[in-house]
Amino acid sequence: MAEWMPGVERIPTAAVGGNITPHGVMSHVMQGWQTTMIRWARERPRVTKKSAHFTIGRDGRVVQHVPIRRQAWHAGRLDPGEPPRWLLLPSGANPNDYAVGIEHEGFSGEPWPEPQVQATILVHVWLFSELGLIPSEETVIGHFATAPASRAADPGPTWPRTRILEALRAHDDARAALTRADYDRATLRAYLGVREHSYRVREDGRWEYIEIRRPRSAGGQVTGIV
Ligand SMILES: [Zn+2]
């Protein structure tokens, strides 16, 4: 199990906690510059108590700051009175104990340069493979998932989540490891209208990502799995 992504620049920070159990990868937009976070990592990690496992520049520069199974400090603050909406976060838990954090250089709503998109895809693909995660909207998340009020625009409308998911599914060998319980949970969520995707077993016995139609509004008839 690797803790550092091979071939990636390493600038470790002392802004790091104990061991974590990653359930997903959380993207952020910095509202600022990668050089600032690198400076924090190098010079004042215990003063500016912020860190991320990775920072990714607009030019595609990838820097890893924290081992992937140690805690970085990117999502610890929840919204008062506004509970997290991340289904894979145990109740009452600190998101930093369950999410690997990627900070992206730039500002919410600005277009993401292609080198930055390609870089975040590469980091996601490595993380999902290394951590055995299944690509879904519950594992590819933004900061808004745990702070829906204060971080509603983090990482914002230009975050290329669809492209990240497509790339992960193209690389995904982990689907075969899905259990029947995973399938049932996804189906139930789709039935309840929470999600529109699920998995099914293919003829070769592997699990496969599928779309699920929402229940029909007319007649109340549920269409079920496509
Ligand atoms: Zn954030």
More confident residue, 223 or 143: 143
- Shared domain for 30 and 81, answered yes or no, is yes
- Shared domain for 198 and 114, answered yes or no, is no
- Shared domain for 116 and 65, answered yes or no, is yes
Q: What is the pLDDT of residue 174?
A: 45
Would the pLDDT of 192 be above 70?
Answer: no
What residues does the ion ligand 1 have nearby, CB within 5 Å? Answer: 28, 143, 154
- Shared domain for 165 and 188, answered yes or no, is no
Would the pLDDT of 41 be above 70?
Answer: yes
Assess if residue 226 is contained within a domain.
no
Dist. CA 219 → ligand 1 center (Å): 42
Assess if residue 212 is contained within a domain.
yes
Token couple for 61: 């520069």
- Shared domain for 184 and 141, answered yes or no, is no
131-143: average pLDDT:
94
- Shared domain for 13 and 64, answered yes or no, is yes
How long is the chain?
Answer: 226
- Shared domain for 138 and 109, answered yes or no, is yes
More confident residue, 212 or 168: 168
Assess if residue 2 is contained within a domain.
no
The pTM of the full predicted model, rounded to 2 decimals, is 0.77
Element (H, E) at 62: strand 62-64
- Shared domain for 206 and 165, answered yes or no, is no
Q: What is the pLDDT of residue 145?
A: 97
Would the pLDDT of 50 be above 70?
Answer: yes
Assess if residue 216 is contained within a domain.
yes
More confident residue, 203 or 172: 172
Residues whose CB is less than 8 angstroms from the CB of residue 153 and which lie 6 or more positions away in sequence, other chains included: 108, 109, 144
Dist. CA 186 → ligand 1 center (Å): 27
Q: What is the pLDDT of residue 106?
A: 97
Assess if residue 225 is contained within a domain.
no
What sign does the dihedral 163-9-107-70 (CA atoms) show? Answer: positive
Domain boundaries, position 185: 180-220
Residues whose CB is less than 8 angstroms from the CB of residue 17 and which lie 6 or more positions away in sequence, other chains included: 70, 71, 72, 73, 96
- Shared domain for 42 and 108, answered yes or no, is yes
- Shared domain for 113 and 32, answered yes or no, is yes
Dist. CA 34 → ligand 1 center (Å): 14
- Shared domain for 92 and 50, answered yes or no, is yes
62-69: average pLDDT:
97
Token couple for 2: 């690797």
In this structure, what CATH number is given to the domain that contains residue 129? 3.40.80.10
More confident residue, 165 or 194: 165
Report the percentage of the chain scoring pLDDT > 90: 66
Q: What is the pLDDT of residue 187?
A: 65
Token couple for 146: 């745990």
Dist. CA 77 → ligand 1 center (Å): 10
73-77: average pLDDT:
93
Would the pLDDT of 26 be above 90?
Answer: yes
Element (H, E) at 123: helix 114-131
Residue whose C-alpha is closest to residue 27's, from 168, 145, 163: 145
Count of domains forming the chain: 2
- Shared domain for 205 and 114, answered yes or no, is no
Would the pLDDT of 42 be above 80?
Answer: yes
